Chain A
Amino acid sequence: MKVTIDGISIEVPDGTSILNAARMIGGDIVPPAMCYYSKLQGSGGKCRTCLVKVSKGSEKDPRPMPKLVASCRTTVMDGMEVQNITSPEVVEARKGIVEMLLLNHPLDCPICDQAGECDLQNLGFEHGAAKTRYEFDRRTFEKIDIGDKIQLHMTRCILCYRCVFTADQITDHRIHGILNRGDHSEISTYIHAAVDNDFSGNVIDVCPVGALTDKTFRFKNRVWFTKPVDAHRDCDHEKCNGKVTLWYKGEDVLRVTARKDVYGEVEEFICNTCRFDKKKTSDWVIEGPRKISHHSVISSNHYETLIPLPVVKTNPLLVEANKEQFERQTRL
């Protein structure tokens, strides 16, 4: 199957979604996704941030699709042509979606533990408008404890259903789901029943916003002051291979998370023992610092290589003045 996304062609297997085809190409043309999670079956189609325009349906039927489609749920057809960032319509629609997602989302990033690694924050920064047109009160909920290690703050939830899919698929029985419908929907455990599965902590990692947070890390520090380090240990649990990222502040491990890839998805789910109970350096075999994208606030003030400002690159005088810095491979 040949598919062209923003003018870049790629051969993909039958049944691939447009989003996954774009991820195979990589770079700026990958649509953002808030609800789709490649490791969770059935996820996607909820948040609409991955909307794209199909300007040519397929080789056989070249008519464009009448409306923007969710790229995580639309499979590619042979000869399909897709526009993402090249289509002003898509960019405009995405801006609307961000505004929609932020309708009920509180602006408490200064308090929220997710700030700095929040998908919605990144999305809002890239695509959103700085102002809201919504004049009514945002919906609010009381905080709920799911077990003694996980906190659910429904006010921040954008109803992506990722945690529900995680609870369904990683754990063996259903304990956590969505109650009510439409505007009233909320994530809940039935009658606040404690989730005591060995893998329940993964709902924290899959949550794109700060609705599900780690109580052992609550308000301990801001993520951008902590230092991510890859580590592993021999985990007793047969399903967990113990590959994690440790978040250090000085000598202390403040938090343990699964390793997340460029799309913010965990590489492998980890068990609760690794996540909540092993917070000493002696428990782990350190592999090395975790690579964090330059665009992330987590890597602010400690870049590995020099990324000059655009003005430095274009001005010949400044290029000459910074010649030594440009040639240097690593920072001093």
Chain B
Amino acid sequence: MEQLTNRRKVIESKPLNFLERAYLPAILSGLRITGKHFFRKSVTIQYPEQKREFSENFRGQHSLKRDEEGRERCTACGLCALSCPAEAITMIAAERQKGEEHLYREEKYAAVYEINMLRCIFCGLCEEACPKEAIYLDGDIVPSSFTRKDFIYGKDKLVEKPLNQ
């Protein structure tokens, strides 16, 4: 067969020497290595109670932002959904009624805004596309779950909590 790389090594199998055949010395050296690891600093952490520090440009769960007056910034323009390469975002727009000016910033708002976290690849293109600075991927890692429908995040999970709470 033609070699794919020049790093290939042919391994010869040699007969075992006396110490190896004696069994106990080999077992003991193995136990010594195992024992050493008991006293080392562990490489894993107890997620989610413990969390590692994220890098500054880490992209986690989306959040829909509110403006200084606590109104939702999203105007359901659909540019996030258009830019989404995984087609994870869907929305239904609605018109702001009289008396809802304190809830929504523009005359149109997203009545339904859903992100399928199983489809999302956390590329951040929605954040880049947003003309209203409404969506940011500034959350944590999306938690796991047992059913697929739990991963369709609606506005209840995505919209930022109001400022005074």
Contacts and interface: CB of A to CB of B under 8 A. Distances in A.
Interface of A: 108-111, 115, 218-222, 224-225, 297, 300-301
Nearest to B131: A110
Contacts of B128: none
A224 to B, nearest CB: 6
B95 A110 contact: no
A111 B81 contact: no
A297 B77 contact: no
Given A218-B95, A219-B94, A221-B93, A108 B78 contact: no
B155 interface: no
Contacts of A108: 106
Given A218-B95, A219-B93, A219-B95, A110 B82 contact: no
B93 to A, nearest CB: 5
A79 B159 CA distance: 65
10 contacts: A109-B131, A110-B75, A110-B106, A110-B108, A111-B75, A115-B77, A224-B82, A225-B78, A300-B82, A301-B82
B132 A110 contact: yes
A170 B6 CA distance: 79
B150 interface: no
Contacts of B78: 221-222, 224-225
A109 B77 contact: yes
Contacts of B95: 218-219
B20 interface: no
Contacts of A110: 75, 77, 79, 106, 108, 131-132
B126 to A, nearest CB: 14
Nearest to A108: B106
Contacts of B93: 219-221
A36 B93 CA distance: 33
A225 B81 contact: yes
Nearest to A300: B82
Nearest to B93: A219
B90 to A, nearest CB: 9
A139 B53 CA distance: 49
B107 interface: yes
A239 B107 CA distance: 37
A143 to B, nearest CB: 9
A219 B108 contact: yes
A141 B132 CA distance: 23
Interface string B103-121: 0001110000000000000
A301 B78 CA distance: 14
A225 B82 CA distance: 8
Contacts of A221: 78, 93
